[in-house]
């Protein structure tokens, strides 16, 4: 048999006894994670963000609740001081009680206001991180992957 030439047509007509080209390894159903190791890292980071945002929200709610309880518990004591001060007339003791009541009312209001402000900041931070998570949740999806129910189908 004559030596086949190196051009494509005669090579196709006279195949050589070369082994078949190597096949890529079977990567199984987890091929995307193997191909894109950052996907697993991003998923882990995203889970941490969701957990931390939830903790921030719960802390904020607890702070709002605590401030409300403090305000509710302080009101009867302030009312009692008012009643006691009004029954003493113009005595120095009554004036001291009114001064004490004003200071205490101001402190309670300042403390509960600060707690509400801190809780609002926690809520804003949680909302920011939830928005970041939402925007990055579909970043590593391939066009052939199924779309999760909460993500709109992109227009390719």
The set of residues, in sequence order, having a beta carbon less than 8 Å from that of 101 and lying 6+ positions away, is 78, 81, 82, 85
In the chain, domain spans: 47-133
pLDDT in tens, 29-76: 666 655 666 666 667 777 787 788 888 888 888 888 888 888 888 888
Which listed CATH number (3.40.1350, 1.10.3470, 1.10.10, 1.10.287) goes with 47-133? 1.10.287
Output the pLDDT for position 95: 78
Give the model confidence (pLDDT) of 105-145 as tens digits.
888 888 888 888 888 888 888 888 778 777 766 555 445 55
Q: Are 132 and 49 in contact (CB under 8 A)?
A: yes
């Amino acid at each position: 048999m004559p030596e086949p030439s190196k051009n494509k047509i005669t090579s196709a007509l006279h195949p050589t006894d070369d082994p078949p080209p190597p096949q890529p390894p079977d990567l199984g159903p987890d091929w995307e994670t193997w191909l894109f190791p950052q996907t697993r890292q991003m998923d882990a980071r995203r889970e941490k963000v969701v957990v931390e945002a939830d903790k921030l929200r719960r802390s904020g709610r607890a702070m709002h609740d605590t401030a409300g309880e403090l305000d509710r518990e302080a009101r009867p004591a302030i009312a009692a001081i008012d009643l006691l001060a009004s029954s003493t007339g113009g005595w120095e003791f009554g004036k001291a009680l009114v001064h004490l009541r004003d200071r205490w009312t101001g402190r309670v209001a300042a403390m509960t206001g600060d707690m509400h402000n801190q809780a609002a900041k926690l809520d804003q931070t949680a909302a920011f991180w939830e928005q970041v998570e939402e925007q990055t949740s579909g970043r590593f999806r391939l066009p052939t992957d199924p779309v999760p129910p909460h993500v709109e189908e992109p227009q390719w």
